[in-house]
Structure 1
């Protein structure tokens, strides 16, 4: 019987495809086709979830609109706001089929939400569901290194018990009903957060990097800011599109001053921002203080 592998994120899916191809070459009778790897690309840690699994997909349309707002004018191809619809289509096809499914997941919040969503969608066919529990280290390093580790983990696929599937499906329902702006994964529990919380963290991190009295400030790579948010207790991996979106929103609110256009910087140049002190933010108009610069990946 055909086996379909689900994993969150295209980079992880590419490594898994490579791993399955290598396993097929080494042991053709034991491996699954690499073409049966599906990347669940929608980052479920942010944005609306309610009604996302309804038959008419009204929630998918809401998520597409959300990602279009996140992307603003920075993505001419419109890739981001198609992710929700692609995932809905893929999960609907899984429901209609009869293939065995292996869900690969790390402890990351986005992976855990994808796991729960898959369990919810296939809860009426629990015998089809299997999982491989990964660590963050399994996907670290170069694509070849990650693929080698995933290849070794293929035999670890194990059935998910009916009781666990039921519990995970209920937790997904709870996350949808809460419909928070963000979802934090702490102590094996999801809690809702707000974008205001995330904005406060960003401003605090930039303020620590460049106090108002500083004559100059270090450049912060976009992934460095995202990693600092995770260390600061965001409770989920904050991707570059969300970081850039919040910077644009903060700039529009007068909390930051951007050195360059973020859309252009996202592709091929550098950008920076200037943070106002917390006291100054309490009053309007806001004077601009020493810069906390942000460099964006090329």
Structure 2
């Protein structure tokens, strides 16, 4: 029987294909073994941590249209990725193959896991998983492929009880339909763009002073530097470059920061100084209340 491997992101999928090819080469070298069953790898591209989710799994995929409009607004990604994922999952549902879900503890992976469990909840016997460590997909492609090759024997069935719980949590996430979804302490909460904007401004305010001191203005931070700092600062999910750039453009339009052509950002001219920093601290705090989406485990 065919085995379908589902994993989030094309780089991870490429490493997994390489790992499976290495295992197939090993099997062929063992002439006493019968031919291995066919295996496919499907990369799920849609980052479910951001944007609307409601109706994403309904007949006709009306939610995919909403997500396409969201990604079009941001730019920098394929507008068809939501529809592509819907089509891929529909094909998996229609097949009778065993399914292996590869996931890390990253928020996007955890949401993809829950979505797949929801889509295949009526065929729980098909579902298996490999729980990856954070570093299993890091580094050069060959290194990631080698680590995934070592994890191939770890595929294990998902219990019916866990599938049911994960499917319910996906339903809760869709119903909440927050602007973004944060993964903290094994719990999803919904958040707003205002939360993310406040964290971006906090990071820019806390950036080291310009060196040498004679240089004028606040320090400039690159988009990728800001993205990594957002994760360390408690964003609760890996903030992709399209999202970071979109929020930087929005904040620049509001006069909160300056944005260069190379997509480096700095606080507006008054920020970073004693007077500007005090004014920023005096702003009304943005609400951080979040809808509870799943039970802690």
Aligned match of 1:37: 41
Contact 2:182 2:236 in 1 (8 A): yes
Contact 1:24 1:32 in 2 (8 A): no
1:202 aligned to 2:194?
Answer: no
Aligned match of 1:271: 263
What is the TM-score with the length of structure 2 in the denominator?
0.85
**Alignment of structure 1 residues 238-253 onto 2, 5 Å:** 238-253=239-254
Aligned match of 1:111: 109
Aligned match of 1:49: 53
Aligned match of 1:60: 64
Cα distance, 1:147 vs. partner? 0.1
Contact 2:222 2:265 in 1 (8 A): no
Give 5+ residue unaligned stretches, structure 1: 261-269, 284-298
Distance 1:32 1:210, change over 3 A: farther
Contact 1:20 1:33 in 2 (8 A): no
Question: Which secondary structure does the structure 2 equivalent of 1:6 belong to?
Answer: strand
CA distance in 2, matches of 1:16, 1:175: 28
CA distance in 2, matches of 1:171, 1:60: 20
Question: Which secondary structure does the structure 2 equivalent of 1:191 belong to?
Answer: strand
Cα distance, 1:59 vs. partner? 0.5
Question: Which secondary structure does the structure 2 equivalent of 1:209 belong to?
Answer: coil
Aligned match of 1:227: 228
CA distance in 2, matches of 1:258, 1:225: 13
**Alignment of structure 1 residues 81-100 onto 2, 5 Å:** 81-100=79-98
Cα distance, 1:223 vs. partner? 2.2
Aligned match of 2:31: none
Cα distance, 1:220 vs. partner? 3.0
Cα distance, 1:207 vs. partner? 1.6
Question: In angstroms, what is the RMSD of aligned CA positions?
Answer: 2.0
**Alignment of structure 1 residues 173-212 onto 2, 5 Å:** 173-209=171-207
Cα distance, 1:109 vs. partner? 0.3
Cα distance, 1:273 vs. partner? 2.6
Aligned length: 267
Aligned match of 1:80: 78
Contact 1:182 1:195 in 2 (8 A): yes
Contact 2:245 2:263 in 1 (8 A): no
CA distance in 1, matches of 2:41, 2:223: 29
What is the TM-score with the length of structure 1 in the denominator?
0.84
Contact 1:2 1:32 in 2 (8 A): yes
Aligned match of 1:11: 11
Distance 1:11 1:199, change over 3 A: same
